[in-house]
Chain A
């Protein structure tokens, strides 16, 4: 495959890609600009338009009457929502998608479609309600039914939710590490851009990344989940080992037992053997994580398997990996080409600082 041609159409044309371009070109966007409103919704009128309305017409009268009615309705909604406990001050914008989501004790879906989620407030959806949160200027979070979450922080450069139970879909375009979600068993750290996070009633969670990659952390236990991969987490255990969803069933079964079910080192070692035997090149993601998760006696064979899937880069030695040298582990991770680990380390440092200073 000619990568230059695939990248920017330069170099020698790749016939395979050209053929695909020709076939798929029939679906291409047809360049017709649609009819957008002639009057832009927030256009500022010119001075003379404000002072001397040029058309004393029925249209002008109707527009003015509509504006007055809208103003009265808006004031009514505002007063009602304040009575109901929906914050109107600083916070994240909420929009009801279905049913009547509740912020603290106030339902905002029935009459007012929009509300605010203030810092410290809890949003709850029942089995019929859904909501969308606009996360300051950094993205959106869609909240599925039967979800309970709290806004922990919404300041500059730090946006934090706590998901107690339920499901959210996050689409985030903030700088990596700015948006985090606490769950009962791990913290999910956005490293850009989109993922789904589910927490059940026991506090166990599942994170599925659809775009970019996400970090999952409990104490020193961490997992990196790139697009197409998932990672389970359990209370008191933390994140399991991430894997690509297209891995074989036996691979995933063995991994689940290794992470959460195996009780003795022997059982874990047996499951590890199955995982390593089944691992494809793409499963280097999983095998890299196993370096730090396997017991010391097993680490050598994890190294050997990973080395066959993705050869260690220069500067990485077997001895160094066996003693879990952090720099070497990071170097090898970067070699997998799934995301730059320095983004994660930067977040980790600032997070540790905040934790130490009690922020």
Chain B
């Protein structure tokens, strides 16, 4: 997807040019800018325990290929594609595609009747995010896990701001629906009140849309 050049991409371009010349600090600068994006894209696709190692693999894979990147301003989308390929290679090698959601698939991600421990609750929410459609889960993980804003996600990945906004909105809607179906009696359950499509807030601060 094409986006118009931004100050961000021109800054990237100068770092890419310097890194090509062997400037290690410049490559470190690119790492500092893009590590969260790479981490988030991987987290949307591979088991959590393998993500940190793969982040390093992605940058090590990108490093010698920098000279092939003719439009230095497109570093972000280029790196995002390398990251997705790296995740695919991971699955090819391990042949554990089904394990991409760690040990917790969506089917298994039902909350216990009592309030779950924070770590278990977080793992469960992550499992739900990772079972959303690709476009939504990647964008949502960059926002909710990595703490990037919508404009940042667009600038880094090369997606248009409009696409990111739509992905965030729809992804959040679907996540809320899944959580409300799975967690009837726990802290993340949205409170349901009468009225079609109304948005309500529960005592714990999570909201959900009523089903008709």
Q: Which chain A positions have C-beta within 8 A of B28?
A: 33, 36
| Chain B 41-68 interface 0/1 with A at a Cβ cutoff of 8 Å (1 = within) | 0010000100010011001100110111
**Most central of A21, A24, A33, A171 by chain B CB within 10 Å:** A24
The answer to whether the Cβ of A105 comes within 8 Å of any Cβ in the partner chain is no
> Given the complex, which residues of B lie within 8 Å of A175, measured CB to CB?
1-2
Interface string of A124-147 (1 = CB under 8 A from B): 000000101010010110100000
Contacts A29-B36, A36-B27, A40-B19 given; does A23 touch B125 at CB 8 Å: yes
Main secondary structure of the interface of A (DSSP, over half): mixed
B135 within 8 A of A: yes
Which listed segment binds B: A2-10, A50-58, A78-86, A250-258? Answer: A2-10
What CA separation (Å) do A33 and B22 show in the bound complex?
17
B-side interface residues, number (CB < 8 Å)? 82
- Hey, which chain A residues are within 8 Å of B205, CB to CB? 15-16, 18-19
- Contact mask A340-352 → B, CB, 8 Å, 1/0? 1000000000000
| Interchain CA distance A298-B41 in the complex, whole Å | 44
Q: Within the assembled complex, what's the spacing in Å between the Cα atoms of A134 and B70? A: 13
Decide: A42 and B64 in contact? CB cutoff 8 A.
yes
Taking a contact as CB atoms under 8 Å apart, the answer to whether A36 and B150 are in contact is no
B175 to chain A minimum Cβ distance, whole angstroms, is 8
A29 touches B55 (CB 8 A): yes
B135 touches A211 (CB 8 A): yes
A20 at the interface (CB under 8 A from B): yes
On chain A, the residues within 8 Å of B166 by CB distance are 337
Q: Are B134 and A211 in contact, with the CB atoms below 8 A?
A: yes
Complex Cα–Cα for A134 and B206 (A): 44
Contacts of A28 in B (CB 8 A): 36, 39, 145-147
Bound form: Cα–Cα A97–B92 in Å:
9
Which residues in A have their C-beta under 8 angstroms from that of B36? Answer: 28-29
Residues of chain B within 8 A of A191, CB atoms compared: 1
Contacts of B150 in A (CB 8 A): 6-8
**Assuming the A-B contacts A33-B31, A130-B92, A142-B85, are A17 and B172 also in contact, with contact meaning beta carbons closer than 8 angstroms in the complex?**
yes
Q: A24-B122, A44-B21 are in contact. List 13 more A-B contacts (CB 8 A).
A: A1-B169, A1-B173, A6-B172, A7-B149, A19-B205, A20-B125, A33-B35, A34-B55, A36-B59, A137-B68, A171-B81, A175-B1, A193-B159
The contact sample of 5 A-B pairs, CB cut-off 8 A, is A33-B32, A42-B22, A140-B81, A173-B158, A193-B159
B-binding residues in A (CB < 8 A): 1, 3, 6-9, 15-21, 23-31, 33-34, 36-44, 97-98, 130, 132, 134, 137, 139-140, 142, 169, 171, 173-176, 191-194, 210-212, 227-228, 337, 340
Q: Which residues of B contact A (CB under 8 A)?
A: 1-2, 19-24, 27-28, 31-32, 35-36, 39-40, 43, 48, 52, 55-56, 59-60, 63-64, 66-71, 74, 77-78, 80-81, 84-85, 88-89, 92, 118-119, 121-122, 125-126, 129, 133-136, 138, 141, 143-147, 149-151, 158-159, 162-163, 165-166, 168-169, 172-173, 175-176, 188, 190, 199, 201, 204-207
Q: Which 6 A-B pairs have the closest CB atoms?
A: A43-B22, A15-B205, A192-B1, A228-B133, A227-B135, A29-B39
